[in-house]
Amino acid sequence: MQIMIVSLMLTWYGHATFTLAADGATVVIDPYTYKAGLFTYPTRRFTGDVVTISHNHFDHSNLGAVRHPRPGQKPLVLRGLTADGKRYHPIDQRVGKLLRIRSVNAYHDEVQGKKRGLDAIFVYEMPGLRIAHLGDLGQKRLSPEQLKAIGAVDVVLAPIGGYFTAPLASIKAIVGQLDPWIVIPMHYKTTYTQKLPISGQTTCPATNGSPPPNVFCLTSSHIDLVAWTKRIRSAGKRQVWLYLTFVK
Ligand SMILES: [Zn+2]
């Protein structure tokens, strides 16, 4: 009998920062750093057993913000790149009985890292569900090797703001390559990142008019990916975009 996880809570804290909670463990993904005037999502303290870092830029690598749930212990830090950011540091780590975390080597730009360096795509696997966080992916397309290494994914957390990451058209093409059930947009302009030269999201909130049929604008920053994947699967749709709302 195949074991299925019962729930997998995903919470968005703005930008590329999330927590994933499943099987008694919390993973903190790409915690950002507050910067006065530039990057003003509220300073947060995260509690997590594990932290994953796609690359070492300030908006993705604030290890100091994360504490282990048990006093005296430190979270397990999984960096997809070396500390100087110049080389890959491939990850393949089991956490508890059900969670496996892997990294897939990628580029922060479309010229093999010559402009903005390297990026690591993180893959979070549990029985029946696979999630990919693209980090600051800058490539035009994923290579066949990368697609094979990532595997079939259910949920993709994708940067859509451009400028520092691939333009939206490329991200859409990459989503097409991965063909997940659910896409969660991230790394776009909000009221907290007005000074960053990234684009805002264009299809949500729903107050801008009714969103296209494959777009849902949620009023929560917190969702159960198991329940949502089931729902989207039973509707027979693919590549449904779920915009989470940043909640302070
Ligand atoms: Zn970034």
Identify whether 14 is part of a domain.
yes
Q: How far, in Å, is the centroid of ligand 1 from the Cα of 187?
A: 7
Strands 92-95, 240-243: pairing is unpaired
Residue 207 burial (10 A CB sphere; 0-12, 13-18, 19+) = exposed
CA of residue 4 to ligand 1 center, whole Å: 33
Confidence of residue 246 (pLDDT cuts 50, 70, 90): confident
3 in a structural domain: no
Q: Which domain holds residue 237?
A: 9-243
Rounded to the nearest whole angstrom, what is the distance from the C-alpha of residue 3 to the centroid of ligand 1?
Answer: 35
Per-residue tokens: 68: 């282990």
What confidence tier does 135 reach under pLDDT thresholds 50, 70, 90? very high
Q: What is the pLDDT of residue 219?
A: 87
Residue 3 pLDDT grade (very low, low, confident, very high; cuts 50, 70, 90): low
Q: Of 187, 185, 184, whose CA–CA distance to 163 is shortest? A: 187
Q: Is residue 180 part of a domain?
A: yes
pLDDT digits (tens, 9 = 90+) for 141-196: 999 999 999 999 999 999 999 999 999 999 999 999 999 999 999 999 998 998 89
**Domain presence at residue 1:** no
CATH code (residue 81)? 3.60.15.10
Residue 72: exposure state from Cβ atoms within 10 A (0-12, 13-18, ≥19): exposed
Q: What percent of the chain has pLDDT over 90?
A: 79
Q: How far does residue 14's CA lie from ligand 1's centre (Å)?
A: 11
The answer to whether residue 239 is domain-embedded is yes
Distance, CA of 54 to CA of 45 (rounded, Å): 19
Flag whether pLDDT at 74 surpasses 80.
Answer: yes
- Report the separation in Å between the CA atom of 245 and the middle of ligand 1, taken as the mean of its atom positions: 19
Let me know if residue 170 belongs to a domain.
yes
Residue 4 located in a structural domain? no
User: Would you call 96 helix, strand, or coil by DSSP?
Assistant: coil
Q: Would you state the pLDDT for residue 24?
A: 87
- 37 within domain boundaries: yes
Report CA(15)–ligand 1 centroid distance (Å).
8
Q: How many structural domains is the chain composed of?
A: 1
CA of 165 to the centre of ligand 1 (A): 7
